[in-house]
Structure 1
Amino acid sequence: MTTPLIIAVPKGRILSEVQPLLAAAGVRPEPAFFDENSRALRFATDADGIELIRVRAFDVATFVAHGAAQLGVVGSDVLAEFDYPELYAPVDLHIGHCRLSVAEPAALAATDDPRGWSHVRVATKYPHLTARHFAARGVQAECVKLNGAMELAPTLGLAPRIVDLVSSGRTLKENGLVEVEVIVDVTSRLVVNRAAMKTRAAVVPLVEAFRRAVAERQAA
């Protein structure tokens, strides 16, 4: 019996953007996949020999890098944070658009100039990416690792600034923060386990199917 090909996709808002690309690539999940109340994590599809798993965004890269899944959909922010050599990212899916930015309280921003920083203390889910960014600017970064509720850090004295994903900016505004520097623009990518690309015959045609789906969507 052939082991199924596993595609890892992130939970959350990106699911609605992933769905049409999956369908265009010939992979249509069972209805339970889109049920937000379902506790299931592994799902069948109408494509022979292909299954989906639904995991946390940060875990997609880990599942694929270690070969538990052969392909995945993951943000370029996560790829930069983990920098797994086992991952190949052949297709920019042009979904999940946002940016990774530095933000601080509005009162501080009124008198602050990021160009004058020599040392920063930030709360972030991206300590490695953040440290590399500031090191390239000659700025020493002290990173406090948090997995969520980043916006509380400045008001509770944990760190005066944060580095986090920004889309509309509404969450920052509602918490009295303003964006002062963009570190990198982010989109979701199709990632592939390098070993699986060489050993699983179905991987390359699937990558090409996603590439065509993205091209058709861009041309529409």
Structure 2
Amino acid sequence: MMGLSIALTKGRLEKQTVSMLEGLGYGIEALKDKGRALVFKDSIEDIQYFLVKSNDCITYVNHGVADIGVVGKDTILENENDTYELLDLKIGKCKFIVASLPQNQLFSKVGHIKIGTKYPTVAKQYFLSKGMDVEIIKIDGSVELAPILGLCDGIVDIMETGTTLKENGLVVLDTVCDISARVIVNKASFKLKHSEVMKVIEDLSRKVNADVDTNL
């Protein structure tokens, strides 16, 4: 058996993915008591895990450093991606939305429209699909601030509960798409380590289905 390398996105997805692996009986003790370490060996399976930021997860899988990656659909949509997306883990659920101040009348405005976002690729594709030519302004901080201060007419952002939008007087105008954590696989690894990769995919799929049944 050839060993696998799995890139996990740091933060909430990391915790939720580790919980799933633990429920499947994988040896993830080191991941639960990790200190400052970034690379971890599974105590049962021939698997090495490492923790990365979301954008880097795709990079490591694209280049074959990681055979498998767990990353949000938002990151997949925003970045160049030459991997296979094989499984929706049904965790880390949220959505891309378009929002604005109520008085801005974003979709009926005549003339130049400016959109603030951390996700320029997603925003551009969305408005092109609507036949709207807009100016995309890249924002790295609190996107909700931009329309309040007049930097833009509306925003494209990720929404989980909508609380921050409401507290800042913004309203949701449309949903671009739903988002959740996905399992991506390097294309070469899928061929060269097919049985090992598919074991992990099938195990995780079984866990996803079991969790769905439990929540019904």
How many angstroms does 1:8 deviate by? 1.3
Mean Cα deviation higher: 20-29 or 54-63:
20-29
C-alpha separation in 1, matches of 2:140 and 2:4: 30
Identity of aligned residues (%): 35
Q: 1:117 to 1:96 in 2, by over 3 A?
A: farther
C-alpha separation in 2, matches of 1:28 and 1:124: 39
Tell me, yes or no, if structure 1 residue 66 matches structure 2 residue 63. Answer: yes
Partners of 1:30 and 1:44 within 8 A in 2 = no
Partners of 1:101 and 1:165 within 8 A in 2 = yes
C-alpha separation in 1, matches of 2:207 and 2:53: 24
Runs of 5+ consecutive residues of structure 2 not aligned to the other structure = none
Q: Which residue of 2 aligns with 1:11?
A: 10
Partners of 1:100 and 1:163 within 8 A in 2 = yes
Structure 1 residues 70-128: Cα deviation after superposition (integer angstroms, max 9, x where no partner): 111111122122241x21111111111110011223xxx14615255775311212111
Q: 2:131 aligns with which of 135, 138, 143?
A: 138
Q: Structure 2 length normalisation: TM-score?
A: 0.86
Tell me, yes or no, if structure 1 residue 89 matches structure 2 residue 85. Answer: yes
Q: Which residue of 1 aligns with 2:140?
A: 147
Q: 2:189 aligns with which of 196, 208, 219?
A: 196
Paired residue type of 1:47? I
Matches within 5 A, 1:1-220: 4-31=3-30, 33-34=31-32, 38-84=35-81, 86-105=82-101, 109-110=102-103, 112=105, 114=107, 119-200=112-193, 201-220=195-214
Paired residue type of 2:117? T
Structure 1 residues 170-215: Cα deviation after superposition (integer angstroms, max 9, x where no partner): 1222333222221111111111111111112411211111111111
Mean Cα deviation higher: 188-197 or 8-17:
8-17
Partners of 2:106 and 2:153 within 8 A in 1 = no
Mean Cα deviation higher: 174-183 or 137-146:
174-183
C-alpha separation in 1, matches of 2:134 and 2:29: 45
Paired residue type of 1:52? Y
Runs of 5+ consecutive residues of structure 1 not aligned to the other structure = none
Helix, strand or coil for the counterpart of 1:165?
strand
Partners of 1:94 and 1:187 within 8 A in 2 = yes
Partners of 2:57 and 2:71 within 8 A in 1 = yes
How many angstroms does 1:161 deviate by? 1.8
